Chain A
Amino acid sequence: MAKKLFADGVSGKVAIYDPANPAAFTNPLANLQSVFFHSDLDYVGVAKIIDVTVTHPYRGVGGTAAQNSYAVPNFPAGNVNPLAHNLGYKPFGIAFVGNNMLPANSQIQDSGQSFRTVAIQVDENSVGIFESCYVYGSALPAINVTYKIVLFRQMTGQLDNKALHIEPDQFKAGFGKLDTDYNYLRYDAAAPDFYFSKGRTADVSNGSFRIVTANGALVQRSPYNGGFGGVPGIGVKI
């Protein structure tokens, strides 16, 4: 299939599309099968990558079982490690907990009836590892966990005033939508940095859970007895 790079000096729109389908330039969303780049589309760039190892502290048990009462669980929860990103907007992102893109509030540690979970909290200036511990009969020892958090920049609106801008050290197209100064995401099945998914990545059955991440990693605790197989994700390279 031929590719055509076309810049409209009047509208400022720039597109790379299949010339056999001219509508791909005027109405890209309805002709996505013929579009390779279009300045009307909002691309996903990488704004920041945070690699961090967090020491989750020791969490002791709560009240002991008295003769006439049950044990009292200890339930500490909070943001154990705020990490500044200073983007000035609340970003979208993906997170690896260890080697896996786990769902929010997944267990990262368990001992007896006790367990520790994490979720990734975001605001305009920072991301945080929000942990919660459910400590019943067994204390949770301190644990080190590595995190990789990729925060996205959504390339929306007019980012520049030039339809096409080519210099020896920079290429810009579509009012800055395509800019060699940025890291864009691209499909890559062979050696992806992470995965996008359109489906479920976890299931519950028999009181327990099974996680099948977008890259096929399986995390499960007995006695899960369902048949969840996950939804294959799409590999993405930065």
Chain B
Amino acid sequence: MSFFASNNRIRVTNDADKTIFDTAQPMPHIVQRLQVSTSVGFPNAPGRYWMTSAYLGESSLCQKYEQKYSCQLEYVCNGGTCSYQNVCAYRMEWVKYPAYLNTQGFEYDAYNWSTVVDLGAIANGIEADFIIANCIAYRTAQGSIIDVGPIPCGLPLGASFLANNSSIIESTSDVADGSPWLTRMMSLFVQNGHVYVEFKHSSRGVRQRSQWEGGLECNWSGPPSFVGNIPRSVPSNASSFQFTFDILIGKFTTP
């Protein structure tokens, strides 16, 4: 161990000659510990189903062999006199019906949202140099996306995790190209003598076809409907969380 002191510097080393303390190298110390809980509700990014129908005309792809009242020229003999006559009657024949090409899917509007929560003031109005944080997160409501189901959260819910500065909370991919499509996050930061947490959501506008796409539909008795088994409204993608933060607010000593 060595202890060096001069007019403008004090330095202490251990037996291995490693510097333990040096007034020329400011030391981080904790000026305050903040334990606080807050909650957030990420709003629903608006979305809906859509369907388009392209009229293909009466098609042999949509025909039935059925009884139909129709008139046609027939060679009719009556009392020794034969001639072509227009004869009307019910008879079995192939009947063509209108065909539609239906395309169905869903769409979400581009949506961005954020909110900032003041978690508390720092004593003595100190402008902190850093924060170190642990956090426990609970999800109180889980949103869902129509094509992929419940939105995943990769945080260890209910357990403590290192939550320094920013953390990603929820994310999903665009099923069309694999890129991130919805991301929700939080950031702890200090500003003007306060500790804040910002929650932020971003999702792109997207228009997808349904996996089954609807396809050809024959109009037997009326206008085409939605293809069966496809829900008419998208589920809510709003998620809610409660966070309990344990935050060390730090400052470096003067160099």
Interface residues of A (CB under 8 A from B): 1-3, 5, 16, 18, 29-30, 32-37, 41-44, 65, 67-73, 75, 77, 79, 90, 92-95, 101, 103-107, 110-115, 117-123, 128, 130-132, 134, 136-138, 152, 154, 156, 166-171, 178-188, 196-209, 211, 214, 221-224, 231, 233-234, 236-237
In chain B, positions 1-57 with a C-beta closer than 8 Å to chain A are 1, 3, 5, 7-10, 12-15, 19-23, 25-31
Question: B229 contacts A68, CB within 8 Å?
Answer: yes
A44 to chain B, nearest CB (A): 5
Q: How far is the CA of A209 from the CA of B15 in the complex (A)?
A: 47
Given contacts A180-B14, A206-B204, contact A121 B131 (CB under 8 A): no
Q: Tell whether B138 is near chain A: CB-to-CB under 8 Å.
A: no
Residue pairs across A and B with Cβ atoms less than 8 A apart, 27 shown, are A2-B8, A29-B124, A32-B31, A41-B31, A70-B211, A92-B132, A92-B133, A92-B248, A93-B162, A103-B185, A106-B168, A117-B171, A119-B154, A122-B160, A132-B154, A156-B30, A170-B1, A178-B20, A185-B28, A199-B190, A202-B168, A203-B166, A204-B183, A204-B201, A204-B202, A207-B182, A221-B180
- Listed from nearest, the 5 A-B pairs whose CB atoms lie closest are A196-B130, A132-B154, A202-B166, A207-B204, A117-B154
Q: Tell whether B159 is near chain A: CB-to-CB under 8 Å.
A: yes
Q: How far is the CA of A84 from the CA of B183 in the complex (A)?
A: 32
In chain B, positions 121-137 with a C-beta closer than 8 Å to chain A are 123-124, 126, 128-135
Q: How far is the CA of A136 from the CA of B177 in the complex (A)?
A: 12
Residues of B within 8 A of A101 (CB): 164
**Interface residue count on the B side (C-beta < 8 Å):** 90
Q: Which of A1, A110, A120, A182 contacts B178 (CB 8 A)?
A: A110
Q: Which of A1, A29, A67, A77 contacts B8 (CB 8 A)?
A: A1
Residues of B within 8 A of A187 (CB): 25-28, 252, 255
Question: A113 contacts B173, CB within 8 Å?
Answer: yes
Candidate in B5, B154, B168 with the most chain A CB atoms within 10 angstroms: B154
Candidate in A131, A198, A234 with the most chain B CB atoms within 10 angstroms: A198
Other A-B pairs, 9, CB within 8 Å; known A120-B161, A186-B25:
A3-B8, A18-B254, A41-B29, A70-B148, A72-B149, A104-B162, A115-B171, A204-B184, A207-B203
Q: Which of B110, B126, B187, B211 contacts A202 (CB 8 A)?
A: B187
Residues of A within 8 A of B149 (CB): 70, 72-73
Question: A104 contacts B161, CB within 8 Å?
Answer: yes
Question: A171 contacts B179, CB within 8 Å?
Answer: no
Residue of B nearest to A132 (CB): B154
Residues of B within 8 A of A104 (CB): 135, 155, 161-163, 167-168
Residues of A within 8 A of B22 (CB): 186
